Amino acid sequence: MDNNVLDVKNINKFFYQPEELHVLKDVSFTVKKGDFVSITGKSGSGKSTLLYLLSTMDTDFEGSIKIAGKEMKGMSNRWLASFRNQHIGFVFQFHYLLPEFSVIRNVMLPALKLAKYSKEEIEHNASELLKLLGIQDQANKRASLLSGGQQQRVAIARALINEPSIVMGDEPTGNLDSYNTAIVFDLFRKLSSERGQTMLIVTHDDDFAEQSDKTIHLADGKVTG
Amino acid sequence: MKFLKDKKLAASVAFTHMHAKIKQTIIATAGVAFGITVFIFMVSFITGSNDYMKNVTFEQSPHLRLYNEAKIAEKTTIDKVYPTSINIVHHLKPKEILLNLKDGKKAVQEIKKDPRVAAVSGSVVNQVFFRFGSSSINGKVNGIEVEDEDKLFNLAKKTVEGSFKDLEVVPNSMVMGVSLAKKLNARKGDRLTVTTEEGENFSVLVVGIFKTGLSNIDQQESYASLATVQRFLNVPASYITDIKMKLYDMEEAPEMSLALQKRYNYLGSDWKKDNAALLDGEVLRNLIVYGVATTILLVAGFGIFNILTMMIYEKMKDIAILKAMGFSDTDVRWIFLTQALVIGLIGAITGLLFGFILSYAISKVPYQSDVMITLDHLPVSFNPMYYIAGFSFGILTTIFSGLIPSRKAAGVDPISILRG
């Protein structure tokens, strides 16, 4: 087995509503373990669509996606959910925390679902992560009371809690000011280089893309470089 | 283990949701509780009165009754003359027979030995006219074995004036229904005249007046000793027309009735046949109670359905995030089903509690009735079955009303929401 965390072969994706549209055309690429990869492209180029296919939440495609050596095509929803829980961490454009839960519980939830460690260990890991991201003092606040930048950092902590094979981001800095963008971006870099965490980030921020190990550029549903 | 942990996690998410929406949750719970309270209260009160009426009626009616009736002769005289030909006789008159039960006394002795029989009494029932002064009223006189009949119907306790036991000791004495006595304007100690169907007159002494609470009995029945009535009718001491009995298990009556009819060749009837109208009425009343209670619970169920559906619309984003995190469809379904279950459970238990308190309170309300003389408080039934039924029904309604929204939540497509 090679050390490719992600192995994408000949993906084709169609939208049928409002009319038939060939969104992704024969997309193939690989991502190595520890790589910091950006997916770029104009809006409508299919980059988000690609990310959601890779996230295993969208199962309607042709071709093959292998994550950590496992084929995703044709697996059941239940299996994919548990795979996602263990191997994929997600950071969205709009932080998307659960507003009624405390910060630390938001971070803990995926680990509680995985149930690999005891609750105490999970809580410890979560507060370690919050410390790493510099928001440990907010741990017991309700998530909805935090600022946008803080919330996004909580979301990153949540994405990391299960030590996933791959962290995916859908324009994670798209909704932040330049100050917070810099903080979040530095965090991604740091996690990638220090912890060897694989990152796959959809962005249209050129600075962001330039500093990644690898850029996958999409145009009209095709990989162009 | 994993299964349990998943359910626990789903429950903890559910509790957080409910905590955040505590007002709606309380209102939904109150809806269920109210439905069950009304159900328990109505069922307890209505079945309480039903049971009371039934008891009064059944206490005064035997479980099983054997009697005789005038029959049409099966063979006519003409058949005897021309036995080989087909003879048709139109409009036959009833055969003239004695209405007594053949070997009735012996039958009573035999039935007494049956271990299923709690009490049995043989009696003579006859239509008579009561005359007191100028008033003359049609009624029935029952010639009875005083002790046996008392065992059957507790008549001594229902005697409001005089003494029932005096029937045994005072010759030519009679105890009569309270309404009958009122119509005749007769009191204890009065002498009145009884005229039989054959036109013979006898003078009797009223030694007591009874009140059963059943107007058709109180208005026309009277009791005298068996020997007295047999003398009125000018029949031998073996002559009895009715055998009445009570059984330990009244459900056995129809079956036993058939067996006894066959054995002694009498006609028979049981409490189910005699009280068909009352029993039918009970079924109808129960239908109404259950209908109303079901409607109330359905409304409560719609409340839960509404609140959960609204909750799910509000929580679409959360559901999508949970799914992105790796919560399965089943986990998401459980989150919302748990909410329905908790609302149902708490609602059902509070409902039972309040239902009980209300029923208990109403059972302490004093109530006097001219008809139901043995009643001093409102009759209420505390049958645990109704509590079990109310609880199960409450839980079932909430599960059903939670099921549809939960399925909807489980089916949410996370991408369509996360992409915005």
pLDDT digits (tens, 9 = 90+) for A31-61: 888 888 888 888 778 888 888 888 888 888 8
Across the interface, whether the CB atoms of A52 and B321 are under 8 A apart is answered no
**Per-residue pLDDT band at B352 (split at 50, 70, 90):** very high
Query: In this predicted model, what pLDDT tens digit does every residue of B124-180 receive, in sequence order?
Result: 888 889 888 877 888 888 888 888 888 888 888 888 888 888 888 888 899 998 888
At residue A162, the 3 state secondary structure works out as coil
pTM listed for this prediction: 0.71
B320 neighbourhood in chain A, CB within 8 Å: 96
**What pLDDT, on a 0 to 100 scale, did the predictor assign at position B232?**
85
Q: 182-201 in B: which are within 8 Å (CB) of A?
A: none
Range of weakest confidence among A202-206, B11-15, B25-29: A202-206
Percent of the residues in chain B that have a pLDDT greater than 90, as a whole number = 5
- Highest mean pLDDT: which of B80-94, B168-182, B262-276? B168-182
Tell the residue number behind the tokens 């006219």, with chain if given.
B129
CA distance A133 to A107: 12
Q: How confident is the model at residue B380 (pLDDT cuts 50, 70, 90)?
A: confident
Q: How confident is the model at residue B355 (pLDDT cuts 50, 70, 90)?
A: very high
Average pLDDT of chain A is 84
pLDDT at position B57 over 80: no
Instruction: Fill in the amino acid letter for B124.
Output: V
Q: Does A117 touch chain B (CB under 8 A)?
A: no
A216 pLDDT higher than 90: no
Minimum CA–CA partner of A87 in chain B:
B326
Which of A57, A98, A158 shows the shortest C-beta gap to B414? A57
- In this prediction, residue B72 carries a pLDDT of 67
pLDDT value of position B353: 95
Q: Does the beta-carbon distance from A113 to B324 stay under 8 Å?
A: no
- Is the distance from CB of B62 to CB of B245 less than 8 angstroms? yes
Q: Which residue has the higher pLDDT, B152 or A225?
A: B152
**15-34 in chain B: CB under 8 A from chain A:** 16-17, 19-20
Flag if A100 and B16 touch (Cβ within 8 Å).
yes
Stretch A80-96: mean pLDDT, rounded? 84
Determine the distance from the C-alpha atom of residue A24 to the mean position of all C-alpha atoms in its chain, rounded to a whole number: 19
Q: B113 touching A, CB under 8 A?
A: no
B143 vs B124: CA distance, rounded Å: 5
Instruction: Note the pLDDT tens digit of each residue in B61-70.
Output: 888 888 887 6
Across the interface, of B327, B330, B415, the residue whose CB is closest to A58 is B415
Chain A (12-71) residues lying within 8 Å, Cβ to Cβ, of chain B: 48, 52, 55, 57-58
Q: Pull the structure tokens for residue A76.
A: 């059941």
DSSP B349-361: HHHHHHHHHHHHH
3-state secondary structure B70-130: CCCCCCCHHHHHCCCCCCCCCCCCCCCCCCCCCCHHHHHHHHHHCCCEEEEEEEEEEEEEE
With a cut of 70, say whether residue B1 has pLDDT above it. no
If you compute the radius of gyration of chain A from its CA atoms, what whole number of angstroms results? 17
pLDDT band at B357 (very low <50, low <70, confident <90, very high): very high
At residue B28, the pLDDT reads 84
Q: pLDDT at position A95, please?
A: 61
Check pLDDT > 60 for residue A1.
no
Of A57, A84, A99, the CB nearest to B415: A57
Does residue B329 belong to the interface with chain A, where contact is any CB pair within 8 Å?
yes
Which of A79, A98, A107, A151 should one mutate to test binding to chain B, selecting the residue with the greatest count of B CBs within 10 A? A98
Place of tokens 């996602």: A84
User: Nearest CA to A169 among A146, A152, A186?
Assistant: A152
Distance CA B215, CA B195 (A): 23
Please give the Cα distance from B384 to B313 (Å, whole number): 40
CA atoms within 13 A on the CB side of B118: 16
Is pLDDT of B271 > 50? Answer: yes
Residues of chain A contacting B317 with CB distance shorter than 8 Å:
96
CA distance B132 to B187: 11
Which residues of chain B neighbour A109 with C-beta distances below 8 Å? 9, 13, 322, 325
Average pLDDT over chain B, rounded to an integer: 84
Q: Do A78 and B329 touch (CB under 8 A)?
A: yes
Q: Is the pLDDT score of B399 beyond 50? A: yes
| Residue A42 dihedral angles phi and psi, to the nearest 5° | -70, 165
Q: Which of B17, B19, B327 sits opposite A81 (nearest CB)?
A: B327
How far B26 CA lies from chain A's nearest CA (Å)? 18
Q: Taking 80 as the threshold, does the pLDDT of residue A122 lie above it?
A: yes
Nearest-CB residue to B2 (from A57, A98, A115): A115
B39, B293 in Cβ contact below 8 A? yes
Q: Which of A83-92, A200-209, B182-191, B349-358 has the highest mean pLDDT?
A: B349-358
Provide the pLDDT for residue B327. Answer: 87
Through-space distance between the first and last CA atoms of chain A, rounded to whole angstroms: 26
In this structure, are residues B221 and B180 in contact, taking their beta carbons and an 8 Å threshold? yes
CA distances from B304 to B7, B34, B103, B204, B317 (A): 21, 13, 69, 72, 21
- Strand partners of residue A199: A36, A167
B418 interaction partners in chain A (CB closer than 8 Å): 52, 57, 92, 96, 170
B418 contacts A52? CB cut-off 8 A:
yes
Between B329-363 and A77-87, two packed helices, what is the crossing angle to 10 degrees?
100
Under a CB-based contact definition with an 8 Å cutoff, are residues B142 and B193 in contact? Answer: no
The pLDDT of residue B371 is 61
Mutation to test the A interface, candidates B325, B332, B334, B419, most A Cβ within 10 Å: B325
A215 token code pair: 């850029």
